Amino acid sequence: MAAGLEVHAAQKDEARVLYINGFINAHTVQDFEKSIQSVLAEKNYRILINCKELEYINSSGLGVLMGVIEEIQDNDGFLYLSDMNETVFNIFDTLGFTHLFKVFDAEMEALNSLKELKDSAMNED
């Protein structure tokens, strides 16, 4: 990992949760991309990115998210984000990315939303 970014993953309920610590810019973006690609390589298409410790993300990092969203959606998955600080939220909001990626205030809210989706799908069956 490049200095400036650490990513670790954990399985929580239905989602692979990626915890991002540091910043995503041109210097660290390759490590960020590798982390997401390794999750996709394991056929995990239900991804939640916890941004609590993410200082900022620049256009390189947003490009990575744009680059994987199609593959995730094609596999009936999702890419959720949570716990953004104001800086990170501002950039998503300014670019209109909040319409493309579901953003939750907190990880627990995202996981609860998934649980509700799962429960409702089971009831339909």
Partner 1 sequence: MKELLTGDIQVTFPSDTVYVHMAITVASNAATIAGFDKSIASKVALATDEAITNVIKHAYGGDKNKQITLKAKITDESLTLRVVHTGKALTNEEIKLPDMEKYIKARKRGGLGLYIMKQFMDEVVFLVGKEHCCLMTKYRNVDK
Report if residue 1 touches partner 1, rule: CB under 8 A: no
Question: Does residue 58 belong to the site contacting partner 1 (CB under 8 A)?
Answer: yes
Bridge partners of residue 49, in order along the sequence = 18, 81
DSSP label at residue 18: E
Range in contact with partner 1 (rule: CB under 8 A) among 11-19, 34-42, 51-59, 105-113: 51-59
- For residues 32-67, one letter each, b for 16 or more C-beta atoms within 10 angstroms of the residue's C-beta and e for the rest, the string is bbebbeebbeeebbbbbbbbeebbebeebbbebbee
The structure tokens listed for 42 are: 């394991």
Among 66, 106, 108, 117, binds partner 1 (CB under 8 A): 66
Least Å distance, CB 27 to partner 1, is 4
Total residues in contact with partner 1, by rule CB under 8 A: 27
Quote the DSSP letter at residue 106.
Answer: S
The answer to the question of residue 96 lying near partner 1 (CB under 8 A) is yes
Judge contact between 17 and 9, C-beta under 8 A: yes
The CA distance from 71 to 68, in Å, is 5
CB under 8 A: which stretch of 12-20, 63-71, 105-113, 116-124 binds partner 1?
A: 63-71
63 near partner 1 (CB under 8 A) = yes
The residues of the shown chain that bind partner 1, judged by CB under 8 A, are 3-4, 23, 25-27, 56, 58-60, 62-64, 66-67, 69-70, 86-87, 90-91, 94-97, 99-100
